[in-house]
Structure 1
């Protein structure tokens, strides 16, 4: 019977865990960014809102700029720290 790989014997688990932590970190950063701008600037009376490109500033900074920042951060993280991992089992014939 073939022995199954465990997290101790297969280095792919280490890579997957590290990349998952990057993903969770980015998701937490995204939520903090969105929450800070949406509720920080959006907690005013609507008549006192400032506008950026015709959108309320809280919406522009939390949703529009936040999306752009996250897209850039995800691209950087994937290109710099993510690695390609083979899904084939070691010793498996194709």
Structure 2
């Protein structure tokens, strides 16, 4: 089992469950990334956390994420990663 520090926030009227991950997540296949996200979503629901799961990671100086299209503008903003890291407020064990 792995413990994750997450940001469970409400942004623009939407509940987000944001998992900051290490850069190795970016080297996983799309299918593997989707499987991780499904697992995270199930764990979040099991912990009674409202919202959709988003993953965010850095590689070099770039920030990457997987989020619903409607949220892309927020996650593309220059301070999105810093916002997530400043708002880590829950721990989830998966």
The TM-score, its normalising length taken from structure 1, stands at: 0.30
**Rg comparison, structure with higher value:** 1
For CA contacts below 8 A with separation 6 or more, give which structure has more relative contact order.
Answer: 2
The structure in which a higher percent of residues are strand is 2
The TM-score, its normalising length taken from structure 2, stands at: 0.30
